[in-house]
Amino acid sequence: MLLFIFFLKPCITLLSFNSLNDNRIVGGTVVEPYSIKYQASLLYRDSLFCGGTLVHPQWVVSAAHCWRPNQLMKVVLGEHNIKEKEGYEQIFDVLLIIKHYQFNYWNLDNDIMLLKLDRPAVINEVVSPVILPRTGTLQNFARCTVSGWGVTSVYGQSLSPELMSVDVDYFADCWYYYYFRITNNMICAGSTDGGRDSCQGDSGGPLVCNGRLEGIVSWGIGCAYAFYPGVYTNVRNYVSWIDWVIQNS
């Protein structure tokens, strides 16, 4: 399946879906095991394909473009090394998936979905929900952290077995990098010099700034390019929707 995007830039006329960081950590390090307690891994036919974030004991948020039939999906919390069974994992079936009703597959606007787990997670020293951004504002160049099991080099093919994270900067002028491709429901984060970004394998995962979930890994051009920061779903625009879904589903 291809996603065709047209830009008002020379040499970039159309891109395949894969080139837009379909699963999407470059420039990062392995995290202290179980230190990112809200991190979830999404499995499709028992293979990791996207990340997610625990926002409630029974609900995980991810990117809508990560949707798969819920009967074929599982969610894992308390995970560090995806190649080993370490004893802290909590594995869930998915009862229900709710994509945002205005999700646009072609431009990835409203790229957010909620997954209801088959039972509440056990909240403990390695599993805990993230805080949503209900107050305050996000300042330009705020330091944020993105995490996942994605590939660790621009041209890499293999996922990282261990959970990794990288610090990135929030860019308030996201439109400058992508012209009309950006909507008000998207934010950008990366490095002005490149070298730090989410990449293939990280889609749907968390961008956390000042301890709050500000973004969901959505798309980008390549990985860690200097003038193409990663693009994230702007979680602030969806806090009321998240609350409503959890209360009414």
Residues 25 and 165: beta-carbon distance below 8 Å: yes
Which of 56, 65, 80, 100 is the catalytic position? Answer: 65
Burial of residue 224 (number of CB atoms within 10 Å: 0-12, 13-18, 19+): buried
Query: Which DSSP string do the residues of 144-189 spell out, in sequence order?
Result: EEEEES--SSTT--SPPSB-EEEEEEEETTHHHHHGGG--TTEEEE
Q: What is the CA radius of gyration of the chain?
A: 17
Which of 109, 111, 197, 202 is the catalytic position? Answer: 111
Active site residue 118: no
Residues facing residue 99 across a β-bridge: 113
Active site residue 65: yes
Which of 147, 160, 198, 203 is the catalytic position? Answer: 203
Residues 119 and 92: beta-carbon distance below 8 Å: yes
Is residue 220 helix, strand or coil? coil
Active site residue 111: yes
Residues labelled catalytic: 65, 111, 203
